[in-house]
Amino acid sequence: MLGIAKLREKSKMASFRVVGLVGVLIAAALGTVPVAHASLLGESFNANIAITGSDDNGSYTITVFSGPITAGAGAEISKSVSKQLTFGGFHTASNQITGTVTVDVTDHSIFTNFSGQAQPFQLTSTFTNIPDTIIGDVDSAAGIVAGVNMDLSHSFDAHSVTYSTFYFGFQPGTNVTQTETLTLQAATIVPEPATLVLFATGLMGLGVARRRPCSLRASGPEQDRETGLRR
Protein backbone atom coordinates (compact mmCIF):
# COMPACT_ATOMS: atom_id res chain seq x y z
CA MET A 1 0.00 0.00 0.00
CA LEU A 2 2.93 2.31 0.74
CA GLY A 3 4.19 1.85 -2.82
CA ILE A 4 0.74 2.55 -4.23
CA ALA A 5 0.49 5.84 -2.31
CA LYS A 6 3.87 6.99 -3.59
CA LEU A 7 2.89 6.07 -7.14
CA ARG A 8 -0.28 8.15 -6.75
CA GLU A 9 1.68 11.19 -5.64
CA LYS A 10 4.17 10.80 -8.49
CA SER A 11 1.29 10.43 -10.96
CA LYS A 12 -0.33 13.63 -9.69
CA MET A 13 2.90 15.57 -9.97
CA ALA A 14 3.52 14.25 -13.48
CA SER A 15 -0.01 15.26 -14.48
CA PHE A 16 0.53 18.83 -13.25
CA ARG A 17 3.77 19.03 -15.23
CA VAL A 18 2.12 17.74 -18.41
CA VAL A 19 -0.85 20.13 -18.08
CA GLY A 20 1.45 23.07 -17.51
CA LEU A 21 3.73 22.22 -20.40
CA VAL A 22 0.84 21.63 -22.80
CA GLY A 23 -0.73 24.95 -21.80
CA VAL A 24 2.49 26.84 -22.49
CA LEU A 25 3.00 25.14 -25.85
CA ILE A 26 -0.60 25.73 -26.99
CA ALA A 27 -0.43 29.38 -25.99
CA ALA A 28 2.76 29.84 -28.00
CA ALA A 29 1.21 28.16 -31.02
CA LEU A 30 -1.95 30.27 -30.85
CA GLY A 31 -0.42 33.69 -30.80
CA THR A 32 2.37 34.54 -28.41
CA VAL A 33 4.81 34.51 -31.33
CA PRO A 34 4.65 37.18 -34.10
CA VAL A 35 2.99 35.94 -37.28
CA ALA A 36 4.28 37.27 -40.62
CA HIS A 37 2.03 38.55 -43.41
CA ALA A 38 4.28 40.82 -45.54
CA SER A 39 1.78 40.70 -48.41
CA LEU A 40 -1.06 42.95 -49.53
CA LEU A 41 -3.13 40.02 -50.75
CA GLY A 42 -6.02 39.25 -48.44
CA GLU A 43 -5.64 42.51 -46.55
CA SER A 44 -8.24 45.28 -46.34
CA PHE A 45 -7.43 49.00 -46.44
CA ASN A 46 -8.90 52.29 -47.64
CA ALA A 47 -8.63 53.67 -51.18
CA ASN A 48 -9.34 57.16 -52.46
CA ILE A 49 -9.02 57.76 -56.21
CA ALA A 50 -9.76 61.24 -57.57
CA ILE A 51 -9.37 63.35 -60.72
CA THR A 52 -8.83 67.08 -60.17
CA GLY A 53 -8.53 69.91 -62.66
CA SER A 54 -10.07 73.19 -63.80
CA ASP A 55 -11.86 74.67 -66.81
CA ASP A 56 -13.71 77.89 -67.59
CA ASN A 57 -16.09 77.15 -64.71
CA GLY A 58 -13.34 76.83 -62.12
CA SER A 59 -11.85 73.88 -60.22
CA TYR A 60 -13.50 70.48 -60.16
CA THR A 61 -13.01 67.08 -58.51
CA ILE A 62 -14.23 63.74 -59.80
CA THR A 63 -14.32 61.16 -57.00
CA VAL A 64 -13.62 57.93 -58.83
CA PHE A 65 -13.71 55.77 -55.70
CA SER A 66 -13.60 56.28 -51.95
CA GLY A 67 -13.91 53.43 -49.47
CA PRO A 68 -12.43 50.14 -48.27
CA ILE A 69 -11.06 47.47 -50.60
CA THR A 70 -9.77 43.94 -50.04
CA ALA A 71 -6.82 42.84 -52.16
CA GLY A 72 -7.49 39.67 -54.10
CA ALA A 73 -7.57 38.18 -57.57
CA GLY A 74 -8.40 40.60 -60.39
CA ALA A 75 -8.94 44.36 -60.32
CA GLU A 76 -10.14 45.77 -57.01
CA ILE A 77 -11.52 48.95 -58.65
CA SER A 78 -12.81 49.55 -62.18
CA LYS A 79 -14.83 52.74 -62.66
CA SER A 80 -15.99 54.62 -65.74
CA VAL A 81 -15.48 58.39 -65.62
CA SER A 82 -17.12 61.07 -67.74
CA LYS A 83 -17.24 64.86 -67.51
CA GLN A 84 -17.97 67.62 -69.99
CA LEU A 85 -15.51 70.50 -69.66
CA THR A 86 -15.58 74.00 -71.12
CA PHE A 87 -12.48 75.65 -72.56
CA GLY A 88 -12.55 79.03 -74.27
CA GLY A 89 -16.31 78.99 -74.16
CA PHE A 90 -16.53 75.70 -76.03
CA HIS A 91 -17.94 72.50 -74.54
CA THR A 92 -17.62 69.98 -77.33
CA ALA A 93 -16.81 66.28 -77.46
CA SER A 94 -13.11 67.10 -77.69
CA ASN A 95 -13.41 68.82 -74.29
CA GLN A 96 -14.76 65.75 -72.51
CA ILE A 97 -13.10 63.42 -70.04
CA THR A 98 -14.14 59.86 -70.88
CA GLY A 99 -12.49 56.63 -69.87
CA THR A 100 -11.94 54.01 -67.21
CA VAL A 101 -9.83 54.06 -64.05
CA THR A 102 -8.64 50.66 -62.86
CA VAL A 103 -6.80 49.73 -59.66
CA ASP A 104 -5.16 46.35 -59.23
CA VAL A 105 -3.35 45.15 -56.10
CA THR A 106 -0.90 42.25 -56.13
CA ASP A 107 1.41 40.74 -53.54
CA HIS A 108 3.58 43.84 -53.08
CA SER A 109 2.39 46.31 -55.75
CA ILE A 110 -0.49 48.70 -56.46
CA PHE A 111 -1.33 49.72 -60.03
CA THR A 112 -3.56 52.61 -61.17
CA ASN A 113 -4.44 52.80 -64.87
CA PHE A 114 -6.31 55.45 -66.86
CA SER A 115 -7.51 54.47 -70.31
CA GLY A 116 -9.53 56.80 -72.51
CA GLN A 117 -9.67 60.48 -73.47
CA ALA A 118 -7.77 62.75 -71.11
CA GLN A 119 -7.87 66.50 -70.58
CA PRO A 120 -5.63 68.69 -68.42
CA PHE A 121 -6.06 66.99 -65.05
CA GLN A 122 -4.32 65.18 -62.23
CA LEU A 123 -5.17 61.60 -61.24
CA THR A 124 -4.31 60.91 -57.60
CA SER A 125 -4.44 57.54 -55.83
CA THR A 126 -4.24 57.36 -52.03
CA PHE A 127 -4.27 54.17 -49.96
CA THR A 128 -4.38 54.33 -46.15
CA ASN A 129 -4.57 51.96 -43.15
CA ILE A 130 -2.43 49.32 -44.86
CA PRO A 131 -1.92 46.65 -42.14
CA ASP A 132 1.71 45.82 -42.88
CA THR A 133 4.43 48.43 -42.35
CA ILE A 134 5.75 50.06 -45.53
CA ILE A 135 9.52 50.54 -45.38
CA GLY A 136 10.17 51.23 -49.07
CA ASP A 137 8.45 52.29 -52.30
CA VAL A 138 9.64 52.15 -55.91
CA ASP A 139 7.59 54.25 -58.34
CA SER A 140 7.29 53.51 -62.06
CA ALA A 141 4.94 54.34 -64.95
CA ALA A 142 4.10 52.89 -68.36
CA GLY A 143 2.57 54.80 -71.29
CA ILE A 144 4.17 58.13 -70.37
CA VAL A 145 4.84 60.44 -73.34
CA ALA A 146 7.16 63.41 -72.77
CA GLY A 147 5.28 66.70 -73.02
CA VAL A 148 1.92 64.91 -73.09
CA ASN A 149 1.65 63.38 -69.63
CA MET A 150 3.94 62.72 -66.69
CA ASP A 151 4.55 60.65 -63.59
CA LEU A 152 3.97 63.55 -61.21
CA SER A 153 4.70 62.41 -57.66
CA HIS A 154 4.67 59.65 -55.06
CA SER A 155 5.12 59.44 -51.28
CA PHE A 156 4.56 56.98 -48.45
CA ASP A 157 4.63 56.56 -44.70
CA ALA A 158 4.38 53.49 -42.46
CA HIS A 159 0.81 52.57 -43.47
CA SER A 160 -0.15 54.68 -46.48
CA VAL A 161 0.96 55.55 -50.00
CA THR A 162 -0.04 58.37 -52.38
CA TYR A 163 0.88 58.88 -56.04
CA SER A 164 -0.24 61.00 -59.01
CA THR A 165 -0.04 61.28 -62.78
CA PHE A 166 -0.66 64.52 -64.68
CA TYR A 167 -2.10 65.03 -68.16
CA PHE A 168 -1.29 68.26 -70.03
CA GLY A 169 -4.23 68.45 -72.45
CA PHE A 170 -6.57 66.75 -74.88
CA GLN A 171 -5.26 63.21 -75.27
CA PRO A 172 -7.49 60.64 -76.98
CA GLY A 173 -6.30 57.04 -76.75
CA THR A 174 -4.48 57.55 -73.44
CA ASN A 175 -3.34 54.40 -71.65
CA VAL A 176 -1.12 55.19 -68.65
CA THR A 177 -0.36 52.96 -65.66
CA GLN A 178 1.41 54.19 -62.53
CA THR A 179 2.79 51.49 -60.24
CA GLU A 180 4.03 51.52 -56.66
CA THR A 181 6.10 48.50 -55.65
CA LEU A 182 6.23 48.38 -51.88
CA THR A 183 8.69 46.82 -49.48
CA LEU A 184 6.64 45.52 -46.57
CA GLN A 185 7.61 44.58 -43.04
CA ALA A 186 5.68 41.69 -41.54
CA ALA A 187 2.77 42.59 -39.29
CA THR A 188 2.39 40.88 -35.90
CA ILE A 189 -0.71 39.39 -34.31
CA VAL A 190 -1.21 40.44 -30.69
CA PRO A 191 -2.29 37.54 -28.45
CA GLU A 192 -5.99 37.51 -27.63
CA PRO A 193 -7.07 37.55 -23.94
CA ALA A 194 -8.06 33.87 -24.10
CA THR A 195 -4.55 32.97 -25.27
CA LEU A 196 -2.98 34.93 -22.42
CA VAL A 197 -5.25 33.15 -19.90
CA LEU A 198 -4.20 29.78 -21.31
CA PHE A 199 -0.54 30.77 -21.10
CA ALA A 200 -0.96 31.87 -17.46
CA THR A 201 -2.79 28.65 -16.61
CA GLY A 202 0.05 26.63 -18.05
CA LEU A 203 2.61 28.49 -15.99
CA MET A 204 0.51 27.99 -12.85
CA GLY A 205 0.35 24.27 -13.55
CA LEU A 206 4.13 24.09 -13.82
CA GLY A 207 4.49 26.12 -10.59
CA VAL A 208 2.15 23.84 -8.63
CA ALA A 209 4.00 20.77 -9.87
CA ARG A 210 7.28 22.18 -8.58
CA ARG A 211 5.89 23.16 -5.19
CA ARG A 212 4.12 19.90 -4.31
CA PRO A 213 7.23 17.76 -3.58
CA CYS A 214 8.51 20.43 -1.16
CA SER A 215 5.25 20.52 0.80
CA LEU A 216 5.23 16.75 1.04
CA ARG A 217 8.75 16.67 2.43
CA ALA A 218 8.00 19.42 4.92
CA SER A 219 4.95 17.68 6.36
CA GLY A 220 7.04 14.80 7.75
CA PRO A 221 5.97 11.14 8.13
CA GLU A 222 2.29 10.43 7.97
CA GLN A 223 0.17 7.37 8.58
CA ASP A 224 -1.45 5.62 5.69
CA ARG A 225 -5.18 5.92 6.25
CA GLU A 226 -5.87 2.39 5.06
CA THR A 227 -3.01 0.48 6.79
CA GLY A 228 -2.09 2.73 9.76
CA LEU A 229 1.57 2.34 8.76
CA ARG A 230 3.88 5.34 8.95
CA ARG A 231 5.13 6.56 5.51
**pLDDT of res. 34:** 45
Looking at residue 120, which CATH number applies to its domain? Answer: 2.60.220
**pLDDT of res. 7:** 52
Residue 226, in any domain of the structure: no
**pLDDT of res. 32:** 44
Average pLDDT score over the chain: 81
Q: What is the pTM of this model?
A: 0.69
Alpha-carbon gap, residue 102 to 76, rounded angstroms: 8
The DSSP 8-state label assigned to residue 14 in this structure reads: H
Asked if residue 165 has pLDDT above 80, the reply is yes
Domain-ending residue, one of 144, 167, 185: 185
Asked if residue 173 has pLDDT above 50, the reply is yes
- Look up the domain containing 202 and give its range: 2-35+190-218
Q: Is 69 helix (H, G, I), strand (E, B) or coil?
A: strand
Residue 69, in any domain of the structure: yes
* Cβ atoms 176, 142 nearer than 8 A: yes
How buried is residue 32: exposed, middle or buried, by Cβ count under 10 Å (0-12/13-18/19+)? middle
Secondary element (H or E) of residue 60: strand 58-70
Structural domains counted in the chain: 2
Q: What does the pLDDT look like over 24-74, one tens digit per residue?
A: 445 455 554 445 558 999 999 999 999 999 999 999 999 999 999 999 999
- Whether 119 and 179 share a structural domain: yes
Stretch among 41-50, 72-81, 98-107, 205-214 having the lowest mean pLDDT = 205-214
With cut-offs at 50, 70 and 90, classify the pLDDT of residue 174: very high
- Whether 68 and 143 share a structural domain: yes
Alpha-carbon gap, residue 105 to 39, rounded angstroms: 10
Burial track 134-167 (b if 16+ CB lie within 10 A, e otherwise): beebeeebebeeeeebbbeebebeeeebbbbbbb
- Whether 72 and 128 share a structural domain: yes
**pLDDT of res. 48:** 98
DSSP line for 81-98: EEEE--BTTB--GGGEEE
Q: What does the pLDDT look like over 192-202, one tens digit per residue?
A: 665 555 555 55
